[in-house]
Structure 1
Amino acid sequence: MKSQDIRKAYLNFFESKGHLIVPSAPIVLKDDPTLMFNNSGMAQFKEYFLGNGTPKSPRIADTQKCLRVSGKHNDLEDVGFDTYHHTMFEMLGNWSFGDYFKKEALAWAWEFLTEVLKLDKDRLYVSVFEGNPAENVAFDQEAWDIWKQYVPEDRIILGNKKDNFWEMGDQGPCGPCSEIHIDLRTDAERAAVSGRDLVNADHPQVVEIWNNVFMEFNRKADGSLEKLPAQHVDTGMGFERLCMAMQNVTSNYDTDVFTPLIEKVEQITGLKYTSNEVKNVSEEQNKTNIAIRVIVDHVRAVAFAIADGQLPSNTGAGYVIRRILRRAIRYGFTFLNTKEPFINKLVEVLANQMGEFFPEIKSQQQLVTNVIREEEASFLRTLDQGLQLLDKVVAETNGNEVSGAKVFELYDTFGFPKDLTALILKEKGFSYNESDFESELQKQKARSRAASEVSTEDWSVLIPGNVETFVGYDQTENEVKITRIRKVDSKKDGILYQIVLDNTPFYPEGGGQVGDKGTLVSANETIDIIDTKKENNLIIHFAKQLPENIEVDFVAKVNTDLRTSTSKNHSATHLMHLALRNILGTHVEQKGSLVNPNYLRFDFSHFSKVSDDELRQVEASVNSQIEAQLQLVEHRNIPIKEALEKGAMALFGEKYGDSVRMIEFGESKELCGGIHVKNTAEIWHFKIISEGAVAAGIRRIEAITGDAVKDFYKNQETTLAEIKETLKNPQDILKSVASLQDDNAKLKKQIEQLVKEKVDGLKDNLLADFQVINGINFLAKQVDLSMSATKDLAQAIGTSKPNSFVFLASVEDNAPNIHCYISKELVTEKGLNAGNVIRELGKLIDGNGGGQPFFASGKGKNVAGIKEALEKVINYIK
């Protein structure tokens, strides 16, 4: 069966068992501060397991895009070296929320694998939890008895807590699980060693394909377990591994999930990939195979993350995506000899392959391609810089072992991978101190852990079973009761208290809009609410202290000044989105936003700089909508299908329910949960402050509204008055500035002429200073000129004599610069290279540089180093 057919068969099977089929949630999580990425099929259903929400159906099935590259579940370093670990993978899942339990889950798993897919029953092994007396959790007799109906007892394996007790995290829902493993070895291998002995032993052909988790317990902060009020089923089957079993191959990479991508890499590089069936490949071929596996795996993770709205960056989830992509680029650079961007060319193959089931990769194909191409070009430049830095480290090393701390500095500061460093050092006859590197790495990890260390207590529930309601669209003040509290202690923020209310007017951070601030007021005290966020469907209010009496009634009061300013910026964002699409084209889509009381920031897809004229048009369009006094039209709990039919914009990477909130201002129609003005006239005025690039194909506009615009124009007035005063209060300020510019241009021309005359005079003097050494006309001098004039002089002198080697240095703004000219006949006949000269001698002035073999320049920081450079340059021709 082809992979497409396997996926459909799974979903059709569970639909026939009464399951609602739902789409995959975005791979990037935006409303769960405990996770960066969806790392399992159950992540999008956490709120239901925690009892904070009600699912659309008690039975659900899906295939979920997952990413495992950080935290507890981190497979990154295994990817490429084996045949079954991945960064991004699909998890086929079926779920029961308080409905069916072990009997149905296990029976249906067996039925699907053996009757629908016709997998060989004799190759399947199952495991059940052996129990844990220390935690008072018994052996899973029920699962054992169910499996005995389908599987001989010698293929039922007892598993320990590590293998057969699944936990969401350090706290939260958990329970025993029952895994299904398949033995894909040859008959001869199976006869020699029982598959039973290889289950959970990391054998590449005896692999887990399905895990049935039975959510029975809640793990508390002190480590103890308590029974959940309802029992749930959470299952996950690795799609890629299932395809391996169904397509009669022994590697995920030999399935049609990956072979189209591998074929494209082969076409681009001219290198061949050998399947897992080919044994005893050479060491060189094995390196090629690993590199290709890394690349085809990583491009999937990066492409889907970008399509879901996460751009590569230097922080958080964006840094993880950049790191995955750079790992792929580096493997191509080192082992496939790819020195130009090429991974972006795989996106088209991926879109054609998976676009039917995951339409986001098809619709965002151009953006994804452009972002990856730009990231590739940038990192290849970084690799080139890293090579120069490594040359400097080698030159400064006594002996043939480089300091591990230096290698770590290259890795940590410049993103230069240690294994690439090791490879280059080996070629130069060097090694590095690995224990020192690991020591520095562990220190960094310790610092990182300390900075992010968080201790979270269990929730203290004051009002059980309360379903919190948000009333903030209509009210900014409301009577409330505290329903639950917990204490959180982090290195970053110190001790904070998280408070949940029975109802709240506080808007929680989301959709780019910051969370509300305000107060909780009782008869005796006032508690400041410093932020509001949402976690697992709970609206959480942050405070630095708890009320003395948490059981009394409170009045929740939103800071309306901040709320009003924020709402103006949020509504202006919608108006600007419409204006950009009207002026630049309908390819414009929102790719990120920040809305706070001070300003708005809006990232959008567009492939060139927005011109000043276009920005003026956008400003004018938004302000015309403000002046039109457009009334807010709000649709709450409207079916998403109806909203889209009305023309509402939906954003990629956002998770929408069946019912949504739709905001209209005239022609502007968007799905949005944020706070808005009632009439566009409240915004007063809109002003763009800046526009620039964020990534390839992504632009960013920052703008202000309301009082911030008034302050902006006041500052402009003040600045203009100061300019007029500086210019002695001319009647026509523009004419005065133009006159200054004319005078400046004339003076500049005069200076250029004087410099030219000075260069000509120096040239005549220096021509007399040439020495002839080994048949080469040699000159090395320091001159009193600017950097550009010194460069011109070096070229002018060099071209005036045959067989010339000219090295000139000068100082400009207290920064030394050096230039080297070598006649082309010396380059071709004697192998001299000006670029190499500048790179080596540039170290003496604490700088770097480069250029062509016949001419190169460099700049540094250490002026004193010029003297030694002038003394040493003669060694190149001696």
Structure 2
Amino acid sequence: ALEVLAGGLELATLVFMDLEEDSDGEIELKEIKFRRMPRSIVDTGYGLERLVWASQGTPTIYEAVFPEAVSFLTKKANLEAKLEKSGTLISENAKLCGVLSVDYGSDLTKLRQMVLDRLNLQGYDLSLSEFTSTIEPLEKLFAIVDHSRALAFMFGDGIVPSNVKAGYLARMILRRTVLLSKDINVPEILPEMVKHHIDNFSSTYPELKRNESHILDMVNLEIERFTQTLERGRRAVKRELDSGGINQDKLLELYDSQGLPPSVVRKFSEEQGHSIEVPDGFLAMVADRHQGETKNKKKSERHIASEPTKLAFYEDMEKREFKAKVTYSDKSNISLDSTLFYPEGGGQLGDIGFLEWNGQKSKVIDVQKIGDVVLHQIKGAVPPLGTEIIGLVDDDRRSNLSRHHTATHLIGAASREILGSHVWQAGASKSVDRARLDITHHRRLTREVIESIESKVNSLILEDHAITT
């Protein structure tokens, strides 16, 4: 890798790649075998916000990228004087932090002392407590500015807070920002900060302004939920203290089960006259704990020794009878060179029907797609390899499944129109007599909202639009 630096600030990184891991490779590095890639690649990443910082010369990147937001929050938090007085110190701190080798889970106090030692060699005369009391409030202020921008864009892009994947990240960012806001004595500032970013960025990203009410509603609802979580958490901490205290394992359990950050647990404990120790690298411990629980789930690697199946149902959705040749055959399954039988997928059941050949007839009871091959499960006699067959798709089943498939699309479109552009399909199931659509939304749907969606779908059906695939 090649790093592009300006005054010690990394602006870009070029990664040169020409090896890929291969257990049979001829090149060995650090006891791992590699082979040459057929094509050499140079992957270049530019830090655009760092370029802005380098061009502006401000003490921190935040003042270069978010000047209005930093000014807004420093006034609200009454930190203007501290920021102005500590500009040089913050700048030197930022430079020195950039050269530290910081591992995930490092001891923050030791790292601060390392930075302070270097600063004092440059002529500063600060104790660790003086240094920390100056730097920490401003670090928290910058984090709030950065996190609130992230939340504006995450919620604007349709991410809904949850306990999984991107939704979990959004929830953790919001909760951390709420706690940081309390630390600098502006506990109600988050909605204002998010709105400030929306106003500031909407000229470039007009979708933020269009989604403003949804974004702010999501922020306020999540704050309300976190407040309820904290109240439940206070009681949970009391129960743990009364039953023997809170050690490291209990601290991890409270984080996992109640969503309580260790700083909150410590505060609740102190309110009740107890002291607990929060280990450095707590989040690393959380990650290690969950990594140990993760199982590698590999998809089935079953391979069917057959030529790919032509998916003829895409060419004519109304056709129900066809001719084809058997390209694979075993005791209960066959594949064909072409098929109208739709395989199970996308939450929709596969087709069923019949096969006829040489005066025989057997039922198709299941259809699955494995790689490029469509496998038909047969009940009854199985036609041998090379046999010409006539396939008959069950029309009632296919038509019902198709109607329900279309209905889920209509419900999804109506939901987006009524609830907002953040709504996406999170899951679906289509069967012969019913269908279900799961959507991303941050509030429970009221009866009035459900009726509005239903009314919109019925209107679309009555408009009799042509359906294309």
Class of the TM-score when normalised by the shorter of the 2 chains: 0.5 to 0.7
State percent identity of aligned pairs. Answer: 21
Correspondence 1:331 to 2:180: yes
Look up the equivalent residue of 2:294 and give its one-letter code: R
Q: Supply the distance in 1 between the matched residues of 2:338 and 2:89 (Cα, whole angstroms).
A: 63
Q: Pick from 591, 605, 620: which aligns with 2:423?
A: 591
User: How many angstroms does 1:345 deviate by?
Assistant: 2.0
Q: Supply the distance in 2 between the matched residues of 1:459 and 1:356 (Cα, whole angstroms).
A: 52
8 Å CA contact retained: 1:478, 1:557: no
Give matches, 1:610-621, under 5 Å.
Answer: 612=448, 619=454
Q: Secondary structure at the match of 1:346?
A: helix
Correspondence 1:209 to 2:45: no
Which residue in 2 is equivalent to 1:366?
213
User: How many angstroms does 1:444 deviate by?
Assistant: 3.5
User: How many angstroms does 1:238 deviate by?
Assistant: 1.6
Look up the equivalent residue of 2:315 and give its one-letter code: D
User: How many angstroms does 1:406 deviate by?
Assistant: 2.5
8 Å CA contact retained: 1:326, 1:379: yes
Look up the equivalent residue of 2:12 and give its one-letter code: W
Look up the equivalent residue of 2:255 and give its one-letter code: Y
Q: Pick from 238, 241, 249: which aligns with 1:394?
A: 241
Q: Supply the distance in 2 between the matched residues of 1:207 and 1:459 (Cα, whole angstroms).
A: 50
8 Å CA contact retained: 1:182, 1:208: yes
Q: Supply the distance in 2 between the matched residues of 1:502 and 1:213 (Cα, whole angstroms).
A: 45
Distance 1:261 1:404, change over 3 A: same
Look up the equivalent residue of 2:10 and give its one-letter code: E
Give matches, 1:180-259, under 5 Å.
Answer: 180-184=3-7, 206-220=8-22, 224-255=33-64, 257-259=65-67
Distance 1:368 1:505, change over 3 A: farther
Q: Secondary structure at the match of 1:601?
A: strand
Q: Supply the distance in 2 between the matched residues of 1:600 and 1:623 (Cα, whole angstroms).
A: 17
Q: Secondary structure at the match of 1:211?
A: strand
Q: Supply the distance in 2 between the matched residues of 1:298 and 1:508 (Cα, whole angstroms).
A: 42
Which residue in 1 is equivalent to 2:258?
414
Distance 1:358 1:557, change over 3 A: farther
Look up the equivalent residue of 1:366 and give its one-letter code: S
Give matches, 1:439-588, under 5 Å.
Answer: 441=286, 444-450=289-295, 453-455=296-298, 472-475=313-316, 513-514=346-347, 517=350, 564-576=399-411, 588=420
Q: Supply the distance in 2 between the matched residues of 1:300 and 1:508 (Cα, whole angstroms).
A: 42
Which residue in 1 is equivalent to 2:361?
none
Q: Supply the distance in 2 between the matched residues of 1:543 and 1:287 (Cα, whole angstroms).
A: 65
Give matches, 1:279-428, under 5 Å.
Answer: 279=90, 282-333=131-182, 335-340=183-188, 342-397=189-244, 402-425=246-269, 428=273
Unpaired segments ≥5 residues, structure 1: 1-163, 165-178, 185-205, 483-498, 533-537, 545-550, 635-674, 676-878
Q: Supply the distance in 1 between the matched residues of 2:37 and 2:424 (Cα, whole angstroms).
A: 38
Instruction: Indicate the RMSD between aligned Cα atoms, in angstroms.
Output: 5.2
Q: Supply the distance in 2 between the matched residues of 1:426 and 1:578 (Cα, whole angstroms).
A: 51
Distance 1:358 1:618, change over 3 A: closer
Look up the equivalent residue of 2:3 and give its one-letter code: I
Q: Pick from 443, 466, 469: which aligns with 1:632?
A: 466
Correspondence 1:269 to 2:104: no
Distance 1:562 1:391, change over 3 A: farther
Look up the equivalent residue of 2:276 and give its one-letter code: S
User: How many angstroms does 1:319 deviate by?
Assistant: 1.8
Q: Supply the distance in 1 between the matched residues of 2:252 and 2:89 (Cα, whole angstroms).
A: 37
User: How many angstroms does 1:379 deviate by?
Assistant: 0.6
CA deviation map 1:774-802 (0-9, x unaligned):
xxxxxxxxxxxxxxxxxxxxxxxxxxxxx
Q: Supply the distance in 2 between the matched residues of 1:587 and 1:286 (Cα, whole angstroms).
A: 43
Which has the larger strand fraction?
1
8 Å CA contact retained: 1:480, 1:504: no
CA deviation map 1:335-367 (0-9, x unaligned):
123444x32222232223333444433332221
Unpaired segments ≥5 residues, structure 2: 25-31, 91-125, 328-334, 358-363, 378-384
Give matches, 1:156-171, under 5 Å.
Answer: 164=1
Look up the equivalent residue of 1:445 and give its one-letter code: H
8 Å CA contact retained: 1:254, 1:276: no
8 Å CA contact retained: 2:178, 2:190: yes
Which residue in 1 is equivalent to 2:100?
none
Q: Supply the distance in 1 between the matched residues of 2:154 and 2:313 (Cα, whole angstroms).
A: 32
Q: Supply the distance in 1 between the matched residues of 2:17 and 2:342 (Cα, whole angstroms).
A: 33
8 Å CA contact retained: 2:175, 2:226: yes
Correspondence 1:260 to 2:68: yes
Distance 1:441 1:231, change over 3 A: closer
User: How many angstroms does 1:373 deviate by?
Assistant: 1.4
Q: Supply the distance in 2 between the matched residues of 1:576 and 1:286 (Cα, whole angstroms).
A: 51
User: How many angstroms does 1:417 deviate by?
Assistant: 0.7
Give matches, 1:822-833, under 5 Å.
Answer: none
Distance 1:553 1:325, change over 3 A: farther
Q: Supply the distance in 1 between the matched residues of 2:141 and 2:348 (Cα, whole angstroms).
A: 44
8 Å CA contact retained: 1:332, 1:338: yes
User: How many angstroms does 1:295 deviate by?
Assistant: 2.0
Q: Pick from 437, 440, 446: which aligns with 1:601?
A: 437
Q: Supply the distance in 2 between the matched residues of 1:412 and 1:405 (Cα, whole angstroms).
A: 11
Length-normalised TM-score, structure 1: 0.37
Q: Supply the distance in 2 between the matched residues of 1:507 and 1:362 (Cα, whole angstroms).
A: 43
Q: Secondary structure at the match of 2:57?
A: coil
Length-normalised TM-score, structure 2: 0.63
How many positions carry a matched residue from both structures? Answer: 389
Which residue in 2 is equivalent to 1:832?
none
Which has the larger helix fraction?
2
CA deviation map 1:493-528 (0-9, x unaligned):
xxxxxx9x999986896xxx5366469x9x9xx996
Distance 1:329 1:229, change over 3 A: same
Q: Supply the distance in 2 between the matched residues of 1:311 and 1:530 (Cα, whole angstroms).
A: 33
8 Å CA contact retained: 2:23, 2:34: no
8 Å CA contact retained: 2:343, 2:351: no
8 Å CA contact retained: 1:367, 1:605: no
Look up the equivalent residue of 1:444 and give its one-letter code: R
Look up the equivalent residue of 2:253 and give its one-letter code: E
User: How many angstroms does 1:552 deviate by?
Assistant: 9.0
User: How many angstroms does 1:403 deviate by?
Assistant: 2.5
Distance 1:306 1:456, change over 3 A: same
